[in-house]
Amino acid sequence: MSSENAAEAKFVDERPPSLVRQAFRLRRTQIGAVLALMLISVALIGPFLAPFGSTEYVDLPNTLSVPGTIFGTDYFGQDVLSRFLFGGRTILILAILATSIGITLGTTLGLTAAYLRGRADEAIMRALDVVLSFPQVLLSLVVISMFGPSNVLIIFTVGLSTTPRIARIIRGAAIGVVERDFISAAEALGESRKRVVFAEVLPNVTSSLLVEMNLRLTYSVGLIASLAFLGFTPEPNAANWGLMIQENRVALTEQPWGVILPTTALALLTIGTGLIGDGFSRVSAGIDRGGKGE
Amino acid sequence: MTLFIVSLLIFAVTQALPSDPAEAMLGREATPEALAALRADFGLDKPIVVQYGNWLFGILGGDLGTSYATSTPVSEYIGPRVGASFFLLLIAAVGSIPLSIVVGANAALRRDRKFDTTSSLVSLILAAMPEFVVGTILTIIFSTTVWQLLPAVTYLEVGAPPWSDLQGLILPVLTLLLAVTPYVARVMRAAMVEVLESDYVEMARLKGMDERTVLWRHALPNAVGPAFQVIALNLAYLAGGVIIVERLFNFPGIGSALADAVRSRDLPVIQFLALIIAGVYILTNLLADIGTVLVTPRLRTRLK
Amino acid sequence: MEQQEIETSGLSRRHFIQGVSSAALAAGILSSSSLSAFAASAPGKKGGTLKVGVVGGANDLFDANYIVAKADQARLMSTFETLLTFDENFVPVTANGLAESAKQNSPTKVTVKLRKGVKFHDGTPMTADDVIATYKRLLDSSKKTTGKPLRTFLDPSGLVKLDDLTVEFNLKAPNVDFLSSLANYTYAIAKAGYDGKTQIGTSGYSLVSFTPGRESVHKRFNGYWDAKNVYFDEVRIIDFADKTALVNALIAKQIDIAVDIPFEQFKTLKSKKYLNVIENSAGAWLAFCMRIDIKPFDDNNVRQALRLLVDRKQMLNRVLSGHGKMGNDLYGYIDANYNANGYEQRKQDIPAALALLKKSGYSKSNPLRVELTAPDDTGGLVLMIQTLAEQAKKTDGVVIIDAKVIDGGTYWSAKGQYMNTGFYTTYWSGRTYLAQAAASMDSYPETKFPPADSSFRADYLKASGTANAKKRREIVAKMQKEEFEKGGYIIPFFNNFADAYSTKVKGVVARPSQLNMDYYAHGFKNIWFN
């Protein structure tokens, strides 16, 4: 390895930590982190604090004033608060897993396509187009009605239906990066393709990636809830914020809490992760500029 | 070519649906004779390859088959719905694209100022809520509980054009707008920020150009490039979103027909709708790709 | 005289339900009803377009003799009419029907005289030939109709035209309650040669257009035999995919009637000054079915234990928010002979259930683990299986119920869970006891009850042919005893249903009825806009 190469590599390696550190210096990132952590702890600790079981019958459905409860009962006579406390874990796990699948596959494919260009690019993107040309809801809907709804299937369908979307965004962002001089420089220095893609190109698309990741997480939650809305539920009556909104939607005018609590939780969570994503994208935009190797 | 693969895929996937459509149709009243008759009626007794061939050539020849559920030709059942959904999508798209570009660009320009913070907060909240929640809330506010100003559902008489109930379109369009705009606006903002900090914008500034020219002549075109991809993606997203929105507002379009068809295993309808949606999507994408090349100065030069 | 006894049987049913003991009321079977007299004495304003919202989709059916969903019922009722109809006590009457009179001459012979001047929507007169053609269609097993239960009693050869307006039904097996069959709303009279495609009926509104999944348009038929009671110029039956959208449309005043509203919205709708809500309890029921020929349900201890496991009160509250009545594993709530043995309400009794299960060798170490399924297209059933699975937890692991929701298409299909597995769910509208017994035995053998060595079927035929009300009740009591002790149904409750409509709509009658909106106002007649 030549000395210039070492210098370049060192420069690359320094980026991630400084990005995180810089990002967390921003107020918005801090607020975002606090919000996200808060909701994640509700999801994790909630089940231990719940006054009733997640499927326990408490009183007549959709009753607001039930002794022993704060928010009354839901569509099925269960304690709204307990359902809420139980409901974070499942949806978070489902959405996070689905998004991770989508992000991993999508980023890899998007970067590869952008970097290889030419025929490989064409082949990858066309293959993804086929998947992409079905709206996510349709794709999930058809697959779920094929195999019957299950959590694993939801994770995979949602994840896979997200993949081409992420791949396109990443490719779009990476194509510009690939054009830049420092990539040709790295290539000229004989870095392996893998290394060029993941160490040189990837850090330069982090802003798009982070924005995308956070959005996809939100949309995955929404998609899971929307499938329930259309009547495709993995486990009916499972305590799950997404389903909770759907289940209690009909009685919204009589028992608003069953919708307000999970919606607020999901909104706060998304705002939290959104602010973090924002922080990252701001900071990385700056780094991108500095990192052009001028 | 892509469309052909899509057609093959659609056919394969729909064939894998678990229940026999003939059985699903007859339900409780199914007798073996009735089942056999119905299967023969629909050509379900023929080999799969033959079924695929019949279907593909049927479509190419303008014969879309017969809907299992309604027992009417698919073209007759779906035809009017395609127009209605297109109209809904068109208004939503036409509204959302400029809106998100303006919001995104403005937010980028006024980074960290009030407009930026507010718009990003609002868009975060909106993005956090699935369309059916946004739609439900809008309905409660504008038509059922708080004020009774707007129709809660779209009511189109059969045969009437989609613009015959403009009032009834307000809430569905608004829901779609609110679902899509935050996303495009955020990407737009990110792209814009990146461009505004790039050297050529700085260069332009150093050259003493006034801020307005810099923004509209140099920054925006470069930022719109990546946004094109997003807009294309969002047209597809809208196409998915209509499934939800149409159901919510009882809008007689292809989205509600599709959800319905999946439930009733109405293969000819599912296949045709999937093909239309896929076709439209592929076309938008192609346009977006061309658009990106045309508006991004760097890529444009390479083209020459 | 036997005919006298039949009327007495009708009377005793009235006795049971309302305690009315006037012989004049019993005669109501054969005379014109008090209801149309009421409508005539309070004439409403003519005109307007009535918009009726109902849950429906591309699966919508239109047929005089076959329905699946409420949307289909609404359309059938607005286009076709039956020979007789039911009054609020489920006694067959001629009001709103096509028969001028109907007489059961003997347990095997019924004579129906048709109204004069009844015309089909195409202007042709309705005659005995049309009635015979309709019943032949119902008896034809190659046609998709709800006529199966008729086939036990009637052959096409038994249908005889006495003159243009008189039809004789000669039964092959005695059935003293045959007049009730003539009031079955899916036995509606269509024009001879009816193929299920061209909808030409005799009602007050003729069909203009029908678009499955969207709407049907019906126009006032000027040649209608009861024209004075038809008020609207036009009726539109509009499909909604989603119940919430249906209710929203009513609240936003876009429709005038919302058929079958969810109980979640009951209070909200009731609180609106411009809306009326009517709730109807007419013996519709939801049930768990246990196939008595499939393990482990072939063991009566298991069946009885599961029946004792159900907390019916809680189930009624959870699933229907209390809008219904508790059930006792017996059907035919609207029948005078419902629970003829006067059994006490079954309650949850875990120790008794466990004792029964212990007899059959089930314990914590050898638990009774069963799968219970429900279709996703019928809301109450999904909640029911979840409730039962939850209640089974009280056995501390001796009974484990795996509740599984299956997509409706698969569930109801010929090879689906419905009727093919040991433990699943079903729903029925209100019927008299014997009619339901026939439907559950022959049309839809859901539990495969009765077993081969049972006298249940013989008792059924005997009861059907017994005119004496007291003797009949005795036989029915025996049948019910067998079902109560060994049957395969768990009937936790009878469900109410409710409709909401704008106060603009006048003349709506709230009384027990099998169908929503009092049989959809018998095809949206007898009601008018303010």
Task: Dump pLDDT digits (tens) for A57-73.
Answer: 999 999 998 888 999 99
pLDDT of residue A7: 42
pLDDT of residue A79: 95
pLDDT of residue C105: 93
pLDDT of residue C392: 95
Is C245's CB within 8 Å of B247's CB?
yes
Residue A251: CA count within 13 A, CB half-sphere: 24
Could you give the 3-state DSSP secondary structure of residue A58?
coil
Residue range A253-278, pLDDT digits in tens: 889 999 899 888 888 887 787 778 77
pLDDT of residue C20: 31
Residue range C464-512, pLDDT digits in tens: 999 899 999 999 999 999 999 999 999 999 999 999 999 999 999 988 8
Smallest Cβ–Cβ distance between C249 and the set B27, B30, B152 belongs to B152
Residue A115 — pLDDT band, cuts 50, 70, 90? confident
β-pair type (C205-211, C49-55): unpaired
Is B130's CB within 8 Å of A133's CB?
no
Top-confidence range, A189-198, B129-138, B276-285, C106-115: C106-115
Spatial CA neighbour of B121 closest among B130, B131, B112, B132: B112
A153 touches chain C (CB under 8 A): no
Is B190's CB within 8 Å of A271's CB?
no
Spatial CA neighbour of A172 closest among B289, B2, B221: B289
Residue A39: CA count within 13 A, CB half-sphere: 24
Residue B211, C-beta contacts closer than 8 angstroms, at least 6 positions apart: B205
Is A76's CB within 8 Å of C268's CB?
no
Residue A160 pLDDT exceeds 50? yes
Residue B29 — pLDDT band, cuts 50, 70, 90? low
Average pLDDT, chain B: 78
pLDDT of residue B236: 66
Residue B196 pLDDT exceeds 50? yes
Residue C195, C-beta contacts closer than 8 angstroms, at least 6 positions apart: none
Mean pLDDT of C14-31: 34
Strand partners, C375: C406
Candidates C242, C405, C417: best to mutate against A (most CBs of A within 10 A) is C405
Q: How far is A53 from chain B (nearest CA, A)?
A: 26
Query: For B264, which residue in chain C has the nearest alpha carbon?
Result: C409
Give the separation between CA B86 and CA C134, rounded to whole angstroms.
44
Residue B21: CA count within 13 A, CB half-sphere: 29
Residue A280: CA count within 13 A, CB half-sphere: 24
Chain A residue numbers touching B130 (CB-CB < 8 A): 221-223, 225-226, 229, 242, 245
Crossing angle, helix B74-109 and helix B254-264, to 10 degrees? 120
Residue B91 pLDDT exceeds 70? yes
Chain B residue numbers touching C252 (CB-CB < 8 A): 143-144, 148, 150-153
Q: How far is B48 from chain C (nearest CA, A)?
A: 21
Smallest Cβ–Cβ distance between C390 and the set A55, A62, A253 belongs to A55
Spatial CA neighbour of B194 closest among B223, B170, B234, B214: B223
Alpha helices in B197-266 (DSSP H): 199-206, 211-213, 220-248, 254-264
Residue A288 pLDDT exceeds 60? no
Which contiguous run of DSSP H or E holds residue C209? strand C205-211
Residue B191 pLDDT exceeds 90? no
Query: For B124, which residue in chain A has the nearest alpha carbon?
Result: A271
Residue range B172-189, pLDDT digits in tens: 999 999 888 887 787 788
Residue B1 — pLDDT band, cuts 50, 70, 90? low
Residue C250 — pLDDT band, cuts 50, 70, 90? very high
Residue range A162-183, pLDDT digits in tens: 898 889 888 888 887 887 777 7
Mean pLDDT of C161-178: 94
Average pLDDT, chain C: 89
In Å, how far from its chain's centre is CA C505? 25
- Please give the domain boundaries of chain B with CATH numbers for all domains: 2-60 (no CATH), 74-303 (1.10.3720.10)
Chain A residue numbers touching C317 (CB-CB < 8 A): 57, 59-61, 77
Both tokens of C431, joined, read: 């019927």
Mean pLDDT of C92-115: 95
Is C213's CB within 8 Å of B260's CB?
yes
pLDDT of residue B24: 58
pLDDT of residue C76: 97
Mean pLDDT of A181-209: 80
Residue C525 pLDDT exceeds 80? yes
Q: How far is C187 from chain B (nearest CA, A)?
A: 16
pLDDT of residue B42: 65
Residue B109 pLDDT exceeds 50? yes
pLDDT of residue C206: 97
Is A57's CB within 8 Å of C267's CB?
no
The CA-to-CA distance between both ends of chain C, in Å, stands at 49
Residue A193 — pLDDT band, cuts 50, 70, 90? confident
Q: What is the largest CA-CA distance in chain A?
A: 76
Residue C301 pLDDT exceeds 80? yes
pLDDT of residue C17: 31
β-pair type (C205-211, C234-240): unpaired
Smallest Cβ–Cβ distance between C267 and the set A57, A237, A254 belongs to A254
Smallest Cβ–Cβ distance between C408 and the set B26, B35, B263 belongs to B263
CA distances from C13 to C18, C97, C331, C473 (A): 8, 21, 16, 11
Q: How far is B16 from chain A (nearest CA, A)?
A: 6
β-pair type (C166-170, C159-163): antiparallel
Is C243's CB within 8 Å of A250's CB?
yes
C285 touches chain B (CB under 8 A): no
Is C387's CB within 8 Å of A57's CB?
yes
Residue B195 — pLDDT band, cuts 50, 70, 90? confident
Query: For A263, which residue in chain B has the nearest alpha carbon?
Result: B129
Query: For A231, which residue in chain C has the nearest alpha carbon?
Result: C376
Give the separation between CA B10 and CA B8, rounded to whole angstroms.
6
Residue range C59-97, pLDDT digits in tens: 888 999 988 788 999 999 999 999 999 998 889 999 999
pLDDT of residue C345: 96
Q: Which residue has the higher pLDDT, C192 or A160?
A: C192
Q: How far is C138 from chain A (nearest CA, A)?
A: 35
Residue for token pair 């929105």: B245
Query: For C60, which residue in chain B has the nearest alpha carbon?
Result: B70
Residue C410 pLDDT exceeds 60? yes
Cα-Cα-Cα-Cα dihedral of B252, B258, B262, B266, to 10°? 80
pLDDT of residue C104: 93
Is A135's CB within 8 Å of B239's CB?
yes
Q: Which residue has the higher pLDDT, C459 or A90?
A: C459
The total number of residues shown for chain C amounts to: 530
Flag the least confident range among A238-242, C4-8, C157-161, C433-437. C4-8
Give the count of Cβ contacts less than 8 A between chain A and B. Answer: 164
% chain B with pLDDT above 70:
83
Flag the least confident range among B79-83, C8-12, C48-52, C211-215. C8-12
Residue B270 pLDDT exceeds 60? yes
Would you tell me which residues 5-64 of chain B have a C-beta closer than 8 angstroms to some C-beta of chain C? Answer: 18-20, 23-35
Residue C507, C-beta contacts closer than 8 angstroms, at least 6 positions apart: C39, C42, C44, C231, C521, C526, C527, C528
Residue C426 pLDDT exceeds 90? yes
C410 touches chain B (CB under 8 A): yes
The dihedrals phi and psi of B62, each to the nearest 5 degrees, come to: 85, 5
B143 touches chain C (CB under 8 A): yes
Could you give the 3-state DSSP secondary structure of residue B103?
helix
Residue range B219-229, pLDDT digits in tens: 777 777 766 77
Q: Which residue has the higher pLDDT, A227 or C169?
A: C169
Residue for token pair 């874990």: A89
Could you give the 3-state DSSP secondary structure of residue C292?
coil
Spatial CA neighbour of A254 closest among A9, A103, A43, A61: A61
Smallest Cβ–Cβ distance between A142 and the set B190, B241, B262 belongs to B262
Flag the least confident range among B90-99, B221-230, C138-147, C436-445. B221-230
> To 5 degrees, how large is the angle CA A279–CA A280–CA A284?
125
Residue C137 pLDDT exceeds 90? yes
Residue A215 pLDDT exceeds 50? yes
Mean pLDDT of C204-218: 95
Is C244's CB within 8 Å of A253's CB?
no
Is B140's CB within 8 Å of A286's CB?
no
**Is the ipTM here above 0.90?**
no
Strand partners, C279: C498
Candidates C49, C55, C59: best to mutate against B (most CBs of B within 10 A) is C59
